[in-house]
Amino acid sequence: MSRKVILVLLILFVIILAWQETSQAATSWEKVVDKIEGILRQSLNTYRQGDAEKARGLVNEAYFGFFEKEGLERAILSKHSSNRAALLEYKFSNIKKLMGNQVPVPEVEQAITELTGMLREDAARLDGPQQQNPLENFLSSFLILVREGFEAILILGAIVAYLVKSGNQRRIPTIYYSAGLAVLASIVTAIVLQLVLRLSGASNEILEGATMLLAAIVLFAVSHWMVGKAEAKSWQRYIEDKVQGSLSSGSALALGAAAFLAVYREGAETVLFYQALLNNAAGAAGLVWLGFAAGILALAAIFLLVRYGSLKIPLKPFFLGTSLLLYYLAFVFAGDGVKALQEAGVAGATPVPGLPAIDFLGIYPTWETLLPQFILLAAAALGVICQRRQALAGRSGHTPSANP
């Protein structure tokens, strides 16, 4: 039954993606950059006149209203690299920071000139004839889906394997239904953001940041809970406490929430990525869908590898490995979540000199993104210490009966 539900959801996903404005001609990115530069120059003039707050608002308009909303950021991310897109995001934020610090006008002007120069370089590459290479449309589509879905599939595979290993197979449909509901929620969110409410990019970033932070909390809680079951004796006691291996309602809810948030976290953004990709695929939309299908197969292979491969792993390594995986993803989500809130302008950005950005770890050179990660490290260390003490106490309590 769960497979049928997932298949229906995937078909619905494809239909709604196809429903997006795929018949449009490819966007002229040079014209988008013209609009961005015009607003940034207007912002510079406003700053020169002494109104820093209004000037910062105009920078936000250039970023959210054109760089994000027109799809330039997604095009750069999918066609070039996430590092390039992240660097451009930082350049926008830096201009606002310079204005907030009341630096001299020439310094702000230099930052704007540098940003627009980079944007024009990217626009020239995106508008160039090499972008009509059909293979690029296939690869971009494939990599978007794999990149955005990889973490979610790892989480789903680990949770399902855990349920099988613990004798809770009857809870597996809950995980599949949660993931399917997240796909539907992602589609609805994308439609609401893009077509109905026409919300600003800031609202999208706030939603994304809040979702990732919530996911980080849930994943950390599940990770901590699994560490406590790593010892064979602890697991045996746990099984004995649960009639026929059933989970408590609270535990099942936490696992379902983890599955939902893992998929929903990037779902709406993935829909928007594909909209931008299809709008610029010209006559190669079929290869975009071929890349989408290949991405689905790749994610299915990853899921099956985690799902069935992990069942052959002994109990203790399985729980420790799964816990570490979920903790790693919680750590990454914490940094990425705060970064999204920084882009929305609702969180500060205090730079950490000399610290490089490490995208795959969710580490960014600001104190605000590092703070929740420090908290997670401290909480993990404290949890391990407490669990070790409990394990030692349990062993000492059995010592007298073990010796005559």
The encoded tokens of residue 170 equal 């009857």
Q: Which amino acid is at 189?
A: T
SS (H, E, C) 191-246: HHHHHHCCCCHHHHHHHHHHHHHHHHHHHHHHHHHHHCCCCHHHHHHHHHHCHHHC
Whether 147 and 54 have beta carbons less than 8 Å apart is answered as no
User: Looking at the chain, how many residues does it have?
Assistant: 404
Check residue 341 and give its pLDDT: 85
Check residue 160 and give its pLDDT. Answer: 84
Q: Is 24 left (phi over 0), alpha (psi -120 to 50) or beta?
A: beta
Which among 108, 100, 111, 113 has a CA at the least distance from the CA of 52?
A: 100
Q: What is the pLDDT of residue 51?
A: 92
The domain ranges of the chain are 28-126, 136-398
Q: Quick check: 239 and 357 in contact, CB under 8 A?
A: no
Q: Contact at 8 Å (CB) between 180 and 11?
A: no
CB atoms within 10 A of CB 19: 10
- In whole angstroms, how far apart are CA 278 and each of 32, 38, 140? 17, 27, 11
The contacts of residue 228 (CB under 8 Å, 6+ apart) are: 234, 387
Per-residue pLDDT of the chain (404 residues; tens, 9 = 90+): 445 445 545 555 555 455 444 434 445 788 889 999 999 999 999 999 999 999 988 998 898 878 877 778 777 876 666 667 777 887 888 898 899 889 999 999 999 999 999 999 988 888 765 445 557 678 777 877 887 788 788 778 888 887 887 777 888 888 888 888 888 888 787 777 666 545 555 666 777 788 778 878 877 877 776 666 555 455 445 444 443 444 566 667 777 888 888 788 767 667 766 766 666 665 667 777 888 888 888 888 888 887 777 666 665 676 677 778 778 888 988 988 888 888 777 787 787 877 877 777 888 888 989 999 999 999 888 877 877 777 666 655 544 433 33
Q: Which residues touch 112 (CB under 8 Å, ≥6 apart)?
A: 40, 41, 43, 44, 95
Ramachandran region, residue 200 (left: φ > 0; alpha: ψ -120 to 50; beta: rest): beta
